[in-house]
Amino acid sequence: MTLHKITIAAFSVLSIAFHSQNKKQMARLIQNEFEFAEKQYKFLLKTVPQDKMPQSYKDGKLITKDISWWYSGFYPGSLWMIYEQTKNPEIKKEAERTLELIEPNKTFTRDHDLGFMMFCSFGNAYRITKDPKYKDIILTSAESLSTRFRSGMQAILSWDKMADFKSPVIIDNMMNLEMLNWASQNGGNKKLSEIAVAHANTTMKNHFRPDYSSYHVIDYDVNTGEVLGKKTFQGYSDSSAWARGQGWALYGFTMMYRFTKDEKYLIQAQHIANFILNNPTLPKDKIPYWDFNDPKIPNVPKDASAAGIIASALLELGQYSKGNEKKNYVDSAKQMLISLSSEKYQAKVGENGGFLLMHSTGGLPLNSEIDVPLIYADYYFLEALKRYKDWYL
Mean pLDDT split into 10-residue runs, the chain, 393 residues: 56 60 94 98 97 97 97 98 98 98 97 96 98 98 98 96 87 98 98 98 98 98 97 96 98 98 98 98 98 98 98 98 98 98 96 98 96 98 98 97
Q: Residue 265 gets which letter from DSSP?
A: H
Task: Give how many domains the chain has, as a whole number.
Answer: 1
Tell me if 23 is assigned to some domain.
Answer: no
Q: Is 57 helix (H, G, I), strand (E, B) or coil?
A: strand
**Nearest one of 64, 147, 137, 84 to 112, comparing CA atoms:** 147
Calpha distance 246→150 (Å, rounded): 24
Q: How many percent of the chain have pLDDT more than 90?
A: 93
235 contacts 216 by C-beta, under 8 angstroms? yes
Angle (deg, nearest 10), helices 323-340 and 3-45:
40
Q: Which amino acid is at 124?
A: N
Whether residue 60 contacts residue 19, with contact meaning beta carbons closer than 8 Å, is answered with no
Please check whether residue 79 lies inside any domain of the structure: yes
298 cis-preceded (ω within 30 degrees of 0): yes
Contact (CB, 8 A) for 37 and 340: no
pLDDT at 164: 82
- What is the residue type of 291? D
Predicted TM-score of the model (pTM): 0.95
Cα separation values, 391 from 277, 303, 335, Å: 21, 25, 16
In a domain, 2, yes or no: no
CB 185 within 8 A of CB 179: no
Task: Count other Cβ atoms within 10 Å, centred on residue 122.
Answer: 30
Residue 19 lies in a domain: no
Tell me if 363 is assigned to some domain.
yes
CA proximity to 309, closest of 392, 231, 252: 252
Q: Which regions of the chain does DSSP assign to beta strands (E)?
A: 53-58, 61-65, 149-150, 155-156, 168-170, 217-220, 227-231, 360-363, 368-372
User: Which pLDDT does position 7 carry in this prediction?
Assistant: 54
Spatial CA neighbour of 333 closest among 389, 291, 378 = 389
Q: Is residue 3 part of a domain?
A: no
6: left (phi over 0), alpha (psi -120 to 50) or beta: alpha
Q: Which domain holds residue 326?
A: 32-392
Q: What is the CATH number of the domain that holds 135?
A: 1.50.10.10
What distances in angstroms separate CA 43 from CA 36, 129, 288, 345, one per listed residue? 11, 24, 29, 19
Nearest to 253 by CA among 279, 245, 183, 142: 245
**Strand, helix or coil at 291?**
strand
pLDDT value at residue 163: 72
Residue 12 in any domain: the answer is: no
On whether the CB atoms of residues 379 and 77 are closer than 8 A, the answer is yes
Q: What is the three-class DSSP state of 221?
A: coil
CA distance 365 to 93: 38
Q: By three-state DSSP, how is residue 350 classified? A: coil
Residues with catalytic roles? 113, 172
Q: What is the dihedral of CA 290, 293, 296, 299, to 10 degrees?
A: 30
Residue 149 pairs in a beta bridge with: 156
CB atoms within 10 A of CB 163: 4
Whether 310 is covered by a domain: the verdict is yes
